[in-house]
Amino acid sequence: MIGTPRVPFVAGNWKMNLTRAESRELAGRIAAAGPEFGGSTIVLMPPFTALGDVAAALTGSDVALGAQDLFWEDRGAYTGEVSGPMLKDAGCAYVLVGHSERRQYFGETDATVGRKVRAALKAGLRPIVCVGEVLEEREAGRTTARIDDQLARGLDGFSRDEIERMIFAYEPVWAIGTGKTASPGQAEEVHAHIRRRLEEGYGKTTASCAIILYGGSVKPANSNPLFKEKNIDGFLVGGASLEAESFIGIVREALLAYREEK
Ligand code: 13P
Query: How many whole angstroms from 99 Cα to the centroid of ligand 1?
Result: 10
Three-state DSSP class for residue 223: helix
Give catalytic status of residue 191 as yes or no: no
Q: How many whole angstroms from 239 Cα to the centroid of ligand 1?
A: 6
For residues 104 and 39, give the distance between their C-alpha atoms in angstroms, rounded to a whole number: 35
d(CA 235, CA 112): 24
Cα(186) to centroid of ligand 1, in Å? 17
Told to judge if 188 belongs to the known catalytic residues of this protein, a careful annotator would answer: no
Distance of alpha carbon 137 from alpha carbon 95, whole angstroms: 27
* pTM: predicted TM-score of the whole model, two decimal places: 0.96
Taking the alpha carbons of 228, 146, 219, 237 in that order, is the dihedral positive or negative?
positive
Atom of ligand 1 nearest to the CA of 218: 2
C-beta of 239 in contact with ligand 1 (< 6 A) = yes
Judge residue 133's burial from the number of C-beta atoms within 10 Å of its C-beta, 0-12 exposed, 13-18 middle, 19 or more buried.
buried
State which of 9, 10, 14, 15 you would mutate to test the pocket of ligand 1, scoring each by most atoms of that ligand within 8 A of its C-beta. Answer: 15
d(CA 163, CA 226): 24
* Top mutation candidate among 45, 69, 167, 237 for ligand 1, by most atoms within 8 Å of CB: 237
Q: Which atom of ligand 1 is nearest to the CA of 217?
A: 4
257 sits in which H/E element: helix 244-261
Dump pLDDT digits (tens) for 25-51.
999 999 999 999 999 999 999 999 999
Q: Is the CB of 177 under 6 A from ligand 1?
A: yes
Q: Is 150 exposed, middle or buried (0-12, 13-18, 19+ CB in 10 A)?
A: buried
What are the two backbone dihedrals, phi and then psi, of residue 247, each rounded to the nearest 5 degrees? Answer: -65, -45
CA distance 33 to 86: 28
Please tell me the predicted confidence (pLDDT) of residue 262.
Answer: 54
Mutate to test the pocket of ligand 1, among 218, 241, 246, 250 (most ligand atoms within 8 A of CB): 218
- Please give the Cα distance from 6 to 79 (Å, whole number): 41
| Nearest alpha carbon, ligand 1 atom 2 | 238
Atom of ligand 1 nearest to the CA of 239: 3
Per-residue pLDDT at 146: 95
List, for the chain, all residue ranges whose pLDDT scores fall below the cut of 70.
1-5, 262
Which element (helix H / strand E) includes 217?
A: none
Catalytic hit among 108, 133, 171, 188: 171
Predicted pLDDT of residue 5: 60
